[in-house]
Amino acid sequence: MGSIQAFLELVGREDVDYDSALDMGGVVVSESESFEESVSRLTAEIRNLTGVGQAIAFLTTGALLENGAKLLRLDPFVDAYAKAILPALKYMEAVRARGVAASPDCECAHDELEYLTAEMELEVAEANPEGFHAWQLLDLLTRGFLSTLLAYDFRGTLPADLSENIDFLAKYEVSVHFVRAYLRLLDEEIIVIDPVMLKGARVRVSGCADVFQFHTLLASELDFLPAEAEAPSDQAVSVVKGDGPTESGHVVVGPWQFSSWRALAGEFDPEDTTHWIWNEALPFDIPKLRSERVVVLLAPRYPRTWSASRLFENVEASVEIVGALDEEQVKTYIDTAIHELERDIDVAL
């Protein structure tokens, strides 16, 4: 009990030393007989901490939970994280704006920073030192927050403004991307269509943190793989579903190039990358055709391989075939896609 008190006093100081606080956090985590008291005290104090101290308090809480402690309330951590990331958000918005000013015609998140120089970013940092400091702490803070979410097994809905802020920051910070991937895990039906074979299926996707997982499990379940395609091995599927280690040496050869529903309105050209759905994306980000997420299965432009893995150790993933689509149903989806694309063009004009 004395260790958690000393730890809270240390991380509550404005001039907290990172290494000292991290070492003291390790002492707190080592005292298993005080786990519950430590988590209770951290829950009560997390909102009152700031900066480095708060980031290490998040990490320490996550480590306690990973070692078996129980968290009775998540809301103080959600509130504290939501408040702590705001300066980092404003800083990144300013960095993005500076990048856009340097290249005003760019469209995607990565291009927004393509012409940003170190000198430009330094200008933004000097104009917003608080935000720059918060940005430097964002990875540390977020890793602790993610550990807390995973150990608490949180699958609920965050406040809308926090979800939007996480969506924005996930474009620029990998650890926030992992938080977003966990919070946006799907458990819903997705339509998959091969427009050349005029075959399709309705599949239920659950627990897939990225399209790599979805792609692998779909290839193991679907009964209309391309003739030359190689189904993933049982060992690879087992890893991706949630059995065994999160990473493996089992190689998966992708049977398809996933594309959005807009590819249904075209000529199914595998050379056209405009509507590709990248394996690194989230199933949550698959665009909807009206009210349904639709994936178009095209021939791959080039061989794509990856090692079977999953992002989250304790999250089970699955793809279940709910039902097949006959040829007429596939044609209906194609007609709907063409109609929606024409309507979008009319609106744009």
Pick from 49, 39, 47, 54: nearest CA to 4: 39
- The answer on 193 and 173 residing in a single domain is no
- The answer on 324 and 196 residing in a single domain is yes
- For residue 121, the SS3 value is helix
Is residue 64 included in any domain, yes or no?
Answer: yes
Q: Which of 45, 73, 101 is the last residue of a domain?
A: 73
- The answer on 337 and 197 residing in a single domain is yes
- The answer on 244 and 318 residing in a single domain is yes
- The answer on 251 and 132 residing in a single domain is no
- The answer on 336 and 254 residing in a single domain is yes
Q: Which of 159, 183, 207 is the last residue of a domain?
A: 183
Is residue 122 included in any domain, yes or no?
Answer: yes
Report pLDDT for 23: 95
- The answer on 163 and 39 residing in a single domain is no
- The answer on 196 and 174 residing in a single domain is no
| 68: alpha, beta or left? (left if phi > 0; alpha if psi -120 to 50) | left
Is residue 153 included in any domain, yes or no?
Answer: yes
Contact present, 262 and 337 (Cβ < 8 Å): yes
- The answer on 335 and 316 residing in a single domain is yes
Is residue 81 included in any domain, yes or no?
Answer: no
pTM of the model: 0.89
- The answer on 232 and 115 residing in a single domain is no
Dihedral of the CA atoms 183, 172, 287, 261 (nearest 10)? Answer: -140
Q: Which of 183, 211, 242 is the last residue of a domain?
A: 183
Is residue 330 included in any domain, yes or no?
Answer: yes
- The answer on 121 and 199 residing in a single domain is no
Is residue 79 included in any domain, yes or no?
Answer: no
One DSSP character per residue, 331-344 reads HHHHHHHHHHHHHH
DSSP class of 186: -
Domain count within the chain:
3
Give the domain range for residue 175: 86-183
* SS3 of 235-291: HHHHHHHCCCCCEEEEEEECCCEEECHHHHHCCCCCCCCCCECCCCCCHHHCCEECC
- The answer on 11 and 128 residing in a single domain is no
Is residue 78 included in any domain, yes or no?
Answer: no
> Per residue of the chain (349 residues), what is the pLDDT tens digit?
579 999 999 999 989 999 999 999 999 999 988 999 999 999 999 999 999 999 999 999 999 998 989 999 999 999 999 999 999 999 999 999 888 887 766 555 456 777 788 898 999 999 999 999 999 999 999 999 999 999 888 888 889 999 999 999 999 999 999 999 999 999 999 999 999 999 999 999 999 999 999 999 999 999 999 988 889 999 999 999 998 788 888 999 999 999 999 999 876 676 778 889 999 999 999 999 999 999 999 988 888 899 999 999 889 999 999 999 999 999 999 999 999 988 766 544 4
Report pLDDT for 348: 46
